[in-house]
Structure 1
Amino acid sequence: MKHAKLTSIALLYLQVVLYICSGAQAQERQAARILEATGVKGGLIVHIGCGDGKLTAALCANDSYIVHGLDRDPENIAKAREHVSSRKLYGKVSLSQLTGNGLPFIDNLVNLVVAEDIGPGAPGMDEVMRVLAPNGVAYVKKAAQWAKTVKPRPTRISEWTHYLYDAAGNAVSKDAIVGPPRHIQWTAEPVWSRNHHTLASISGVVSAQGRIFYIVDEGPASSMEVQAKWSMVARDAFNGILLWKRPISSWAWHQRKFRSGPVQLPRTFVAEGDRVYAALGLEAPVTAMDAATGETVKTYQGTEGTEEVILNDGVLLIVTGGPVPEHAVKDAAQRKGTEFPNTKTITAIQADTGNVLWTWSEPTGGNLVPVTLAAKGGKVFFQAGANVVCLDRSTGEQRWHCSVTETTKPERNADKKKRKPQPARSVGWALTTLLAYEDLVLWADTKRCVAISAGSGEALWDCPSKAGFRSPPDVLVANELLWLGPDFAVGRDPHTGEVKKNSINIEDLWTTGHHHRCYREKATNRYLLTGKRGIEFVDLVSDNHWRNNWVRGVCQYGIMPCNGLIYAPSHACGCFMEAKLYGFWALAPERQTRKPSSAVQLEKGPAYGEPKTKDSKLTTLNDWPTHRGNPLRSGSTSMKISSRLKDAWNVSIGGKISAPVIANGNVILSAIDEHKIISLDAENGQKKWTFTAGGRVDSPPTIYRGLVLFGSADGCVYCLRLSDGELVWRFRAVPDELNTVALGQVESVWPVHGSTLVEDGVAYAAAGRSSYIDGGIILYGLDPTTGKTIYKEHVRNSHPMVTSAGDKPQIERQKIDQNATDAKTFTAPDKSDAFSMEGVTTDILVSDGNSIFMRHLRFNRQCVRQPELSRHLFSTSRLLDDAENHRSHWVLGTGDFSRIAVAYSWIANRRGGRKDVHLAVPYGILLAFDDETVWGVRRGEAYTLFAETHRPFSATEKSLPDFRKVEDDAGERWKWSVDIDVRPRAIVRAG
């Protein structure tokens, strides 16, 4: 009988398992049918009416998708979260409750919307079409029938298929939507380019068919001694989701000095339609890849050593260098005894068949000038020596050549020490520009610009021209006029050279001081997009010119304007540390405002108003209740611990986790990418409870009187009961329910950092990313027990605009070494000198015991901004930034970077400072402190652990400048220092 019962139980269990498996398989089959029917390969899927979440999870068919489920029923959301978590998918698949008739997403973001029904009370098709990206698909079921609707790609946006827009080489987009950046579209990794002083970590970016492609070095930003890790990466152009990645076997030397080129790198790949063409290594042939999957479609043998690629009317024009490509010459490991110049060949290949149409080889090495190859109207143009050459694109036969003055730097003869003669052109470098426009070829060097007839080769007219800063001359034909850098003072008729329009005095727009960024300008037919300090918009139509110093492109490449967006690849810049964005960003122009969501701002949970439990007692000195121990974020405790530590218990959480906080016998941490808060028993590590938030929780909560307080990337502040994780309240800190994609997950446009600052019974949190985008940042002071708003401050900055009309204030320009000030520094909204500006990006909030700080900005306890700065802990990037880039430090100072002679990191990274100035306050890559001592780590050739004198924060002290003259300093402040042979990742002082 007993055996019979066991058999029955086993059979029942088996039936349940089979039922569950068959149900899961059915959902996977349905998901596969949906993906096949819609043709969506990767990107963001939104599932409306997600129910139990099984189909939602199944729609995440591979790593190229992320999925967000919506449902009005909170019980369905809870069940769906449980199912998705059981599949180990939470984060890539996330869920939230749908409120109102709108969809909680920004415009043009979603690739696929799946819905069982869009009827009364549900978001309408107009709303679905708003959130869909161009070519996105709505797949809606009505009356047992699925209907597919595709959002057409707007005719007013444009692609950017080549380094310089297209094969003609005129870096001017036809995109009529691109405008001054005002909103996030998406942001992605890497947060930093590896190093400012070496080869840029992103070689170039192109875009086609709603995707972007780029070549990136994913080696660590902490050390250039670590070998490069080059890859070709594809992302969705409208949400930044990673679609695929392919390794590159070898590339230009990553330690090459950043101003020495090579100029060929951005020209080594192109995209068109559903294909990407690139050489995945210095000695690899050009490969045609499926743009959606990265799979190889065709390989073009004989193209090893590729230096440049353009594509014109289905014909690939490939420049190869032998025996190795020119951009390999500086790397001794790749050079193989080859000296510059190498020998270059142009090969024309029919892209679809792989048939070679013709080849052209230079008669002598060093003849073909880099980045002058262009094609248009059945012709191929380039500079060879002192001639502009035209070939027939079909046959390769020469049509004509036009002599131009060769003004590359003069060749230097061998000196008396019998050194080898230096070539006229540096390896990997060029200072000429060539483009094709209508029936013209426009050529320019450092002295003059020449217009040449594309039909006859006759030189028609010329005018003076100049090179950019460490870049060839900027020659742009925009809005039917020719504009020449660097000042773009006049617009000429490109056919006659006649001046047709005067532009703004560029000095009225550009921030004074320092130099232009080391990359070429781009444009649209509405705006010239210059890169003096950030992205300046020179308006060619209405004379409303805008300056945006808070965002910039990557060295050697710059930015990309297309798809109605500005793409700003990751940089390693040390300017404007207060407000500059970090990471790979896509930014949108001003959008039409919509009616905000009707979601309730303060949601009361089941534990709201419940009596306090035994866990509500005050924390003790043995507790660590908030990030880095206390509101000062000191990372220091007076509690003594043994110098010989051993495991008391060990629990595997998995994934990326935050640092823990500890109070009242509870260890609380966040599983960051899984949106979970986890409570463990401090005695034995046993799990007490978990709670799933609506987005990432990037840092640990704060434990306060029996409550667990934290912010989330969904834009909410949460309060849980410490004893059981039950929700007390949730506060929506956002002005609207709008989500984007950030670092590969759905996030609010206005995320809230995890660690909430609690001071004197007020919980402080900030929602937003930057004071310059999406209306800025909102700082709240909340009642920790009730969630009610006590204080509120809106932190936002106006965008500086310059018009051609009106009197300008006359304030004499003052030079401060590389820096300078002028009238704009004192009167414009950004108050910008060359290295410092108004504005802020968010970080974990910090206290000095008296005030609240958002990075360098100081607020009183009522959230009112204070004009005076004072000492506190801050980071020049973010306190949560673990990249250890050489342009990032923790500092115990005021955060005043204005009027310094050079970028701050040039001073901080040299012991003793620079330009007779040094950073005279404690700083390092990590710091911990108490009232008397600061312990920290600095990085030079080795890691140095040090102790430095400190003094308590005081509300009455007069703060000294962080940067001071060397002779004004009191002398050495270090108590001791020692080099350590490990890479430190955290620092805590105890005892």
Structure 2
Amino acid sequence: MITIPQNQLLIATACLVATIGAAEPLPDPGPGSGLAVVVGQDDLEQTGKLAATGRFLVHQLVPAARVDALRNAALNQGIHGAVVIDALPTGQLPHPSRFADLVMADLAAPGCPAQAELERIANVGATLHLRVSGTWQAKPRPPETGIADWTHKWYDAGGNNVSADRKAGPPQLIQWQAGPAFADGAGNGQHPVIGKGAFACISAVDGSLVVRSAGNGLGRWRSQPTLAYLTELLIAGDRVLTRADPTVKNTKLLGKFEYGPLIAFDLASGAASVLPDAPELPLDPKYQMPMGGVGFPSAISAGSDLVVVAAGDLAVMDAASGKRRWAVSNPDGLWFSPRILEDQIIVAECPKGDKSMGRGRVDSAYAVRAICAFALADGTPRWRSEVTIPTPQPDPLPLGRDGKPVTRVPKASLKPMTCAAGKVFLHTCAYQAAAADSGITALDAKTGKQLWRFALPGRKWAATDSASCILYRDGELIYIGGHGSGGIARFDPETGAQRGEFKDGLRHYAYAGECSMSRGTTDWLIKAAVTWYDKDLTAISRPANRGSCGAGVFPAQGMVFSTPIGCDCTDYARGYQGLSCEPALPVADEQRLTSGPGKPGKSLPVAGDWPMFMADARRSVSSTVALPPELAVRWTVAGAPRPIAGRLIDDRRRDEYWIGALTAPVIVGGTVYAGLPEAHAVTAHDATTGKLRWRTPVGGPVDTPPTIAGGLCVFGCQDGTISALSTTDGALVWRFDGAPGRRLAMLNGRLASAFPAPGSVVVVGDKVHATVGHHTYLGGLTTWMLDLASGKPLATNRVGGDPKVSVPDKETVPNLLNDILVAADDGGLWIGKSLRIPPDGKLEKTKTSVLPPIAMSRRVSVVGFTQPQRGGSTHQWVSPTWLPARWLMRAWTMVQDGDRIYGLMGDQRNASLEAGTLSEDLRARAIPLWSLTNAKDFTDLEVNTALIKAGDRLFMGGGSYDGAKGSLYAISLDGKILQRFDLPSRLVPNGLAAAGGQIVATCVDGSLIAIAGK
């Protein structure tokens, strides 16, 4: 156990400034952005300037004795959180490899890590500024062997979906998450590209091209033109190429079409230039939109060659200058899936027509008449091999189950070609259908002659096109069948003879994969994104993340990347993500508990208080407190510092998991408490006047408010700790490190632990119940039961997280994203809808337990804005969901009051606040008692973020998507709007509380508002 002396913890800011003095200026960081790790700066002058640019999040590592003083000083200056201050550790740094975009270190500073360690944490392409013998020297990160980029939609110019990255493997931890967290519908095949330390993808919301740091996910730049959602991206050299019309920004028009010139964006700066020699899709002269039946454009690159196809035009250009070398035209046809193989271009020829080819979960050619080869040097035709895809409709049509001829026989389409080892491999299959003509065909790349064909056995091998693929590796052609029970088959590439038996797919309790693309690396095969097979075909399940349907996950730069998914068939990790393949550093148990100088306060919860997030452990968001009939704003104060303006905060605001400057409030004994997610602090204000009582910095973001019990302000922090502060002055009483290992991550643009703790803990009697972790299959979840007075651990459990376990215990390891605990009537506490912690702290099977009143899934407690179709293709956000023994209501802006439910239904812009009665098994609600809609009754609400019941009224509020406007409504229990209040900005998620005869609201701009009797 560690003890912090009083004088060390509470050093005054004035003394800090007087004793430290000014530091030598840091070198110019240049025009870049991202995470800056700084070692050797003992004050905030230089790191504060770096953070003030709005381009850098600064991680300042200092001697342990300086941490608390510098955190207090940073909080007073309004830069805490933008400058994150931690103790410089001995040994390895907690940062994952390739994490920081800028490293500045004085190698002579006490405890400074070795240069090799600083190079390890630097991202690919990062610059290290090292002070050697008193002189700053700029050094690029040395090249690293064993890692590879992912530069094309289908990996490389040959379309062989095998990454050469040998450090990417089954994901172990979250390394970064960025928004938007949720995708529309089922996602539909969004592919990023990764290279030069950058991750590039098209935004799932506004269609802009967004380039992030591949190491930590922080945004670098965002394009102005709006792009089609499924537009191909290509990294060629230091540029990312795509189609865009720089004059148009209408997302609705561009959501389905790819047109405009080929534009090259500089990966570092976003500077754009048009490549006028690249062919373009022909436009309808009247509507200036692509004409029907012209397919979609594609581009690939290898060395100095850039190959571009659009409709019936194929051109080879110089990759550096963009100058055209030669071109061929096919006036009555379309080109599909261009590939470069040695000195040839291989491309499929399709007839013109609306049903000839199309994008979707996977690129498909529905009608193909030939495969063609051209000389890469000058376009000389080499060969043309006629094919017939799909096969003709059988005559007569087969009979269905009813004995009548079927109206349509499922037909396979050609998927993107795979070219390798002197062969052209064709894969034909259909979407979730047993197409009889599904198969694999091999052509000789020199002559175009068919070498062999293998007919895939339909549903027996689960041949759905959005998850199945073929690839060449180690002298074999490998077929990976996705969708549940799909498996692996191996073939001799020369003869097509099957090698060995078909390897059945792993059936897994948590999730076995459905519609996400399969692919491989030099050492691994990845089935449907979630099951990893080693060279011996031993399976390791990693179902936490599968990316959007048809896309899957992308192994590159020693990591695994994914895009948002719309499905909710299990509780995935959400958002644009970079996953680490490295284990965490160990934590010594004797170092977990720290005792501080603080003493418990005298403020204890009483009836009518709101002592924890969403009112109580059942998360009822309901209070019996009596409110005056007419209400008015009593006071408004700034509850948190305003975040530093710039690209980093602009990017965070686009994530549904962005909370704002304040969390929701809690109210006990005349004091309002809240967390500060941006400023990494906890704050307390007088409930009568709004006056600040105290504000204490902590080690990371606090995403939901503290729980008040026993004179203590108890909360979890995203640095993996659980802490207790005195309610009197905010002084530390104890802090417990609950993370099972030490590893940093970037979550929603904020530096955190890979094992974050939700802010809202549950206190039962003299025990604190808390959870730590991101996801059961990304490091696992750890539950802790701690003594309230001392923080000493009483019980613990760890679920999942073992990278060596191939098939975890199906009874105890659900696929589960961590969220706040919810209490059931028997005292058991639930994480989501699958994991229960009984009062004794031990885990228990769900089938034998009393269920909670609501299910928290998809981190719903902190979702600030979304729509039912975003992140929920199979279930709405407020709807029944099946559990063993009964149905359970999903919770998002919902109040349960006995057998009556008040909740938001429908999409956000036309959301309805409805009241109804629940049937006993919750399978369906009765006819609504009443309904109020955004479109008619709340026209100023683009999004609703908070709903509570206080006495005889409902209070519902929200605001605009951008957070700039906010409003609050008082509504009678029979559905009449009683009052409306303007708010400074949008309410934070669940940002309402009621106690002491008033309503307290928190807004995303940091405003804290009290509404009481006139």
Q: CA deviation at 1:701?
A: 1.0
Residue 976 (structure 1) aligns with: 929
Secondary structure at 2:48's aligned position in 1? helix
| Distance in 2 between residues matched to 1:387 and 1:513, nearest whole Å | 43
Cα contact 2:567–2:874 (8 A) shared by 1? no
C-alpha offsets along residues 875-933 of structure 1, whole Å, 9 cap, x if unaligned? 232222234442799xxxxxxxxxxxxxx97466899999xx99855555322234564
Residue 524 (structure 2) aligns with: 527
Percent identical: 24
Secondary structure at 1:647's aligned position in 2? strand
Q: Does 1:985 align with 2:945?
A: yes
Cα contact 1:752–1:767 (8 A) shared by 2? yes
1:288 to 258, 264, 278: 264
C-alpha offsets along residues 659-710 of structure 1, whole Å, 9 cap, x if unaligned? 1111111111122111122221111112222111111110111122332111
Cα contact 2:119–2:142 (8 A) shared by 1? no
Residue 574 (structure 1) aligns with: 568
2:575 to 568, 583, 591: 583
Residue 368 (structure 1) aligns with: 334
The amino acid that maps onto 1:929 is Q
Cα contact 1:52–1:80 (8 A) shared by 2? no
Residue 606 (structure 2) aligns with: 620
| Distance in 1 between residues matched to 2:467 and 2:816, nearest whole Å | 34
2:197 to 197, 200, 210: 210
Cα contact 1:797–1:839 (8 A) shared by 2? no
Residue 792 (structure 1) aligns with: 796
Q: What is the TM-score of this pair, normalised by structure 1?
A: 0.77
| Distance in 1 between residues matched to 2:517 and 2:816, nearest whole Å | 28
Using a 3 Å threshold, how does the CA distance of structure 1 residues 874 and 444 change in structure 2: closer, same or farther? closer
Q: Does 1:882 align with 2:864?
A: yes
| Distance in 1 between residues matched to 2:589 and 2:46, nearest whole Å | 28
Residue 859 (structure 1) aligns with: 837
Residue 840 (structure 1) aligns with: 816
Residue 491 (structure 1) aligns with: 490
Q: CA deviation at 1:175?
A: 1.6
Cα contact 1:44–1:110 (8 A) shared by 2? yes
| Distance in 2 between residues matched to 1:845 and 1:963, nearest whole Å | 21
Q: How does 1:225-304 map to 2 (within 5 A)?
A: 229-251=206-228, 265=230, 268-281=232-245, 282-300=258-276, 303-304=279-280
| Distance in 2 between residues matched to 1:719 and 1:980, nearest whole Å | 42
Bigger shift: residues 938-947 or 851-860: 938-947
| Distance in 1 between residues matched to 2:820 and 2:767, nearest whole Å | 16
| Distance in 2 between residues matched to 1:347 and 1:910, nearest whole Å | 51
| Distance in 2 between residues matched to 1:841 and 1:146, nearest whole Å | 44
Cα contact 2:900–2:915 (8 A) shared by 1? no
Cα contact 1:433–1:474 (8 A) shared by 2? no
Residue 729 (structure 1) aligns with: 734
| Distance in 2 between residues matched to 1:195 and 1:35, nearest whole Å | 41
| Distance in 2 between residues matched to 1:918 and 1:978, nearest whole Å | 31
The amino acid that maps onto 2:930 is S
| Distance in 2 between residues matched to 1:801 and 1:718, nearest whole Å | 32
Using a 3 Å threshold, how does the CA distance of structure 1 residues 514 and 119 change in structure 2: closer, same or farther? closer
Q: Does 1:47 align with 2:38?
A: yes
Bigger shift: residues 657-666 or 106-115: 106-115
Bigger shift: residues 461-470 or 374-383: 461-470
C-alpha offsets along residues 336-390 of structure 1, whole Å, 9 cap, x if unaligned? xxxxxxxx322222222221222222231xx3353x2111223111111421111
Using a 3 Å threshold, how does the CA distance of structure 1 residues 190 and 923 change in structure 2: closer, same or farther? closer
| Distance in 2 between residues matched to 1:702 and 1:445, nearest whole Å | 57
The amino acid that maps onto 1:979 is L
**How much is the aligned-residue C-alpha RMSD, in angstroms?**
3.7
| Distance in 2 between residues matched to 1:505 and 1:423, nearest whole Å | 32
C-alpha offsets along residues 476-526 of structure 1, whole Å, 9 cap, x if unaligned? 112221123435654223234344x3255224x245999963454211132
Residue 284 (structure 2) aligns with: none
Secondary structure at 1:247's aligned position in 2? coil
| Distance in 2 between residues matched to 1:584 and 1:502, nearest whole Å | 38
Using a 3 Å threshold, how does the CA distance of structure 1 residues 668 and 471 change in structure 2: closer, same or farther? closer
Using a 3 Å threshold, how does the CA distance of structure 1 residues 204 and 61 change in structure 2: closer, same or farther? farther
| Distance in 1 between residues matched to 2:329 and 2:489, nearest whole Å | 38
C-alpha offsets along residues 15-62 of structure 1, whole Å, 9 cap, x if unaligned? x9xx99xx99x97xx44x3425xxx93332211133112222233474
Identify the structure with bigger relative contact order (alpha carbons < 8 Å, sequence gap 6+).
2
| Distance in 2 between residues matched to 1:381 and 1:799, nearest whole Å | 41
Q: CA deviation at 1:301?
A: 5.5
| Distance in 2 between residues matched to 1:108 and 1:848, nearest whole Å | 43
Using a 3 Å threshold, how does the CA distance of structure 1 residues 432 and 844 change in structure 2: closer, same or farther? closer
Q: CA deviation at 1:843?
A: 0.8
Residue 929 (structure 1) aligns with: 896
The amino acid that maps onto 1:279 is R
C-alpha offsets along residues 635-678 of structure 1, whole Å, 9 cap, x if unaligned? 11111113432101112344532111111111111221111222
Cα contact 2:887–2:922 (8 A) shared by 1? yes
Q: How does 1:498-537 map to 2 (within 5 A)?
A: 498-499=497-498, 501-502=499-500, 505-507=503-505, 509-511=506-508, 517-531=514-528, 535-537=530-532
Using a 3 Å threshold, how does the CA distance of structure 1 residues 465 and 61 change in structure 2: closer, same or farther? farther
Which ranges in structure 1 are unaligned for 5 or more consecutive residues? 1-15, 219-228, 253-264, 322-343, 413-421, 803-827, 890-903, 951-959, 967-971
Q: What is the TM-score of this pair, normalised by structure 2?
A: 0.75
Cα contact 1:629–1:636 (8 A) shared by 2? yes
Cα contact 1:102–1:597 (8 A) shared by 2? no
Q: CA deviation at 1:409?
A: 6.9
The amino acid that maps onto 1:587 is L
The amino acid that maps onto 2:906 is R
Secondary structure at 2:636's aligned position in 1? coil
Using a 3 Å threshold, how does the CA distance of structure 1 residues 409 and 685 change in structure 2: closer, same or farther? farther
Using a 3 Å threshold, how does the CA distance of structure 1 residues 208 and 134 change in structure 2: closer, same or farther? closer
Q: CA deviation at 1:69?
A: 0.5
Secondary structure at 1:793's aligned position in 2? strand
| Distance in 2 between residues matched to 1:555 and 1:436, nearest whole Å | 24
| Distance in 1 between residues matched to 2:585 and 2:804, nearest whole Å | 25
Q: CA deviation at 1:466?
A: 7.1
Q: CA deviation at 1:148?
A: 4.8
Q: CA deviation at 1:839?
A: 4.2
Secondary structure at 1:587's aligned position in 2? strand
Size of the aligned set, in residue pairs, is: 830
Cα contact 1:81–1:94 (8 A) shared by 2? no
Using a 3 Å threshold, how does the CA distance of structure 1 residues 734 and 406 change in structure 2: closer, same or farther? closer
| Distance in 2 between residues matched to 1:463 and 1:689, nearest whole Å | 72
2:374 to 391, 415, 437: 391
The amino acid that maps onto 2:195 is A
Residue 829 (structure 1) aligns with: 808
Q: How does 1:139-178 map to 2 (within 5 A)?
A: 139-148=129-138, 150-178=140-168
Q: CA deviation at 1:985?
A: 1.9
Q: How does 1:301-700 map to 2 (within 5 A)?
A: 303-305=279-281, 307-321=297-311, 344-364=312-332, 367-368=333-334, 370=336, 372-385=337-350, 386-407=369-390, 430-446=413-429, 447=437, 448-465=439-456, 468-471=463-466, 474-486=469-481, 489-499=488-498, 501-502=499-500, 505-507=503-505, 509-511=506-508, 517-531=514-528, 535-539=530-534, 541-577=535-571, 580-589=572-581, 591=583, 594-596=585-587, 600-607=591-598, 610=599, 613=601, 616-653=602-639, 654=642, 655-700=660-705
Cα contact 1:466–1:473 (8 A) shared by 2? no
Residue 808 (structure 1) aligns with: none
Using a 3 Å threshold, how does the CA distance of structure 1 residues 471 and 602 change in structure 2: closer, same or farther? closer
Cα contact 2:442–2:450 (8 A) shared by 1? yes
Using a 3 Å threshold, how does the CA distance of structure 1 residues 436 and 669 change in structure 2: closer, same or farther? same
Using a 3 Å threshold, how does the CA distance of structure 1 residues 287 and 382 change in structure 2: closer, same or farther? same
C-alpha offsets along residues 136-165 of structure 1, whole Å, 9 cap, x if unaligned? 444332431334555433321111110111
The amino acid that maps onto 1:354 is G
The amino acid that maps onto 1:522 is R
Residue 115 (structure 1) aligns with: 105
| Distance in 2 between residues matched to 1:291 and 1:485, nearest whole Å | 33
Q: CA deviation at 1:116?
A: 2.0
The amino acid that maps onto 2:674 is L
The amino acid that maps onto 2:915 is F
